[in-house]
Chains A and B, each alone.
Chain A
């Protein structure tokens, strides 16, 4: 990484002297900056809305904190990244071109997840990608990209080979894919709806009508476990994604600026680490007032961000001393750009591993909160809540056993994949 970036700087200087700026590239840079600004704007707006609602709620105007940030939170990070990529392109920093691909794919995916009108915003991402592929723009980065992609592909091939060799990781991946498929296709195969109750068939043991039995309200356990996949996966992924985005932003800033900022941020994370996750989440939910899934998610995000801040900060402290950062600074790159386009991509790898591992933890904590009555509203198909409903009848094992197994398998899969990926990424364990 280090060598590549410093080379880039050198070639950048040559490029500026030899090739005149093509208008296409300028358009690409502007488009990219705009797309990034819009993304970051939407993300920030969502956060501001939450803060505004939070204040209003406490002044006594509104009682509910409207949570629109669940998928929008990460947009702040991706958006800032894209803005800086766009600006780098305008100044013809060739390394920025290939980041266009990843950044736009990521923000496009986030827009698609948000749904609604946001889907149209993917057009901006598409436009940027198309412009990137035009011959005029290509001449700036394609050769370089191919040149440094080749060893990278080799690296990925080797990683995949290592993955294939460890059966546990493969098993974890297969289980996770299974869960995602269930979450997508559950409307087509579940015999009953998520909140459908058959009042005449309560507490039925597993049998032909209800293969996993029914609960005290006549809900079909099999269908509910399947439907719950949607809710629980959504909580796990969105909590980790938002916590990661917030934590990374704060951690990068703390590590990069050092000094007082760093000190304050680290002391704050210390305080957060002084609470066990579930208990702080409990206190936050009780302070928020309403008991529902959105509030659980917010509470868990507040609980989880310090992990990533710590991790990223440590990583940044190592990276910022490296030569490529100094090179970028010496050609006049701004702090924000150095953080976003130079340091951030190099620190993200351990964060991803940690995020995978945390998904299992978040899943279990959220279910635990639901279990003690702090989570989903009664009647929602959610694993923790189902077990909570079943505990009064714990002698009828099916109400507890199946949701628990679903949870266990899901958390296990996340842990397997996370563990495996960590071992594979670990340079100390990696042999060539």
Chain B
């Protein structure tokens, strides 16, 4: 199921990089001597037919030769190794916030349908879906950083992953939260956590909105089922009915949405990271766009698609755990 998709994804990135636009532009700049161009063409196989080029492209990908990134001033693979953990850390924290807040909100909203809590929740969720995330990020930054600073309140840092000036950090895995715990550096840990608050909250809000809406509607659907009526008529307490009987069934569509929302998170990361100068994939991608750094853009696109597909694969596996009826062989 996901292997043809990955092949398709590879084909699309190949087409975008090598067929549309001039592939030579990747290897040539204004300082390249004209007589070297022929050699470059031959060296990179650009004189070969397209399908051969596609295989060359695949071979390079598998061999770990993803090209040179001007923006990061290193090989693309090294750049990914540097930026990827930052983005994943941010996305996972955002996802945790979204799930921890979104699911209870959805349950509350469904169980108290048409009451004041429900209306408030629905407005929050709807606003989250229709809010431009970059605008929300800038507004948060304006309020929590600038205005709090002016008012003399404890303000949140403007951006970055940790306070570079005051705290030292020696990367091990590049996941700051994990590294600081391993090395027992609690100062760094809390510093990193404080730096995470704003970007993660901002990034999590959209996902939170999506999860809340889905949870609410699927919960409402489930609560109408016969087995819920039966459970209630048996005299079970409402809490047991909701958390033991309804929740598990209502989780299935929600889990699908969470998988899909992971793609939204990466999209959001592109926009949030620029604003909070978060040294992750998204900011790298945006900078490479502005400098037309094609190998970086391609690597980023490919990587995101792979993350997205694997997120959906994981969701499929979680299904089995949630619902024994669709467990895979």
Binding site for B on A (CB under 8 A): 58, 60, 267-268, 270-271, 274-280, 282-284, 286-289, 360, 364, 367-368, 371-374, 383-384, 387, 390-391, 394-395, 397, 400-401, 403-404, 407-408, 411-412, 414-416, 419
Contacts and interface: CB of A to CB of B under 8 A. Distances in A.
B309 interface: yes
Contacts of B247: none
A372 B269 CA distance: 12
Contact of B133 (A277, A368, A416): A368
A394 B142 contact: yes
A270 B130 contact: no
Interface string B267-297: 1001100110000000001100110101001
Contact of B275 (A283, A391, A395, A401): A391
B20 interface: yes
A113 B17 CA distance: 35
Contacts of A368: 132-134, 267, 270-271
B267 A277 contact: yes
B91 to A, nearest CB: 12
Given A284-B16, A371-B271, A372-B286, A271 B134 contact: no
Contact of A283 (B133, B142, B290, B297): B297
Interface string B108-152: 000000000000000000110111111110110110001000000
A408 to B, nearest CB: 6
Given A58-B20, A270-B8, A287-B17, A276 B304 contact: yes
B261 to A, nearest CB: 10
Interface residues of B, number: 52
B308 interface: yes
A397 B5 contact: no
B13 interface: yes
Contacts of B297: 282-283, 286
Interface string B251-267: 00000000000011011
Contact of B126 (A374, A383, A401, A415): A415
B126 A275 contact: no
Contacts of A282: 270, 285, 289, 297, 301
A255 B292 CA distance: 40
A390 B264 CA distance: 25
B130 A387 contact: no
A401 B275 CA distance: 15
A416 B127 CA distance: 10
Contacts of A58: 19-21
Residue picked from B126, B129, B130, B298, most chain A C-beta under 10 Å? B130
B116 to A, nearest CB: 15
Given A360-B130, A387-B134, A372 B274 contact: yes
A271 B139 contact: no
A400 B139 contact: yes
Contacts of B68: none
A275 B138 contact: no
A274 B132 contact: no
A287 B16 contact: yes
A287 to B, nearest CB: 4
A268 B8 contact: yes
Contacts of B300: 279
A270 B134 CA distance: 28
B294 A286 contact: yes
Contacts of A391: 134, 138, 275
A408 B135 contact: yes
A374 B291 CA distance: 11
B16 A283 contact: yes
Given A275-B305, A394-B141, A400-B139, A408 B130 contact: yes
A400 B308 contact: no
Contacts of B305: 274-275, 279
A404 B292 contact: no
The 8 closest A-B pairs by CB, nearest first: A271-B8, A404-B135, A411-B130, A276-B263, A287-B20, A412-B130, A276-B267, A287-B16
Given A274-B9, A276-B264, A372-B289, 9 more contacts: A270-B8, A279-B301, A282-B285, A282-B289, A286-B292, A367-B132, A371-B271, A411-B129, A412-B130
Nearest to A277: B267
B9 A271 contact: yes
Nearest to A396: B142
Contacts of B131: 408, 411
B146 A360 contact: no
Contact of B139 (A276, A283, A401, A416): A401
A419 to B, nearest CB: 8
Contact of B270 (A279, A367, A407): A279
Nearest to B213: A419
Contacts of B329: none
A268 B146 CA distance: 47
B5 A270 contact: yes
B202 to A, nearest CB: 13
Contact of A267 (B8, B126, B263): B8
Contact of A412 (B127, B267, B289): B127
B138 A387 contact: yes
Contacts of A419: 126
A58 B275 CA distance: 35
Contacts of A289: 21
A394 B132 CA distance: 16
B141 A372 contact: no
B33 interface: no
Given A276-B304, A279-B270, A384-B132, A286 B289 contact: yes
B4 A267 contact: yes
A284 B294 CA distance: 11
Nearest to B288: A286
Contacts of B19: 58
B142 A397 contact: yes
B97 interface: no
B12 interface: yes
A274 B264 contact: no
Nearest to A400: B138
A372 B136 CA distance: 15
A372 B273 CA distance: 11
A403 B139 CA distance: 12
A267 B112 CA distance: 41
B49 to A, nearest CB: 16
B114 to A, nearest CB: 12
A306 B8 CA distance: 14
B199 to A, nearest CB: 15
Nearest to A407: B132
B133 A274 contact: no
A407 B139 CA distance: 14
Nearest to A275: B305
Contacts of A371: 132, 134, 271
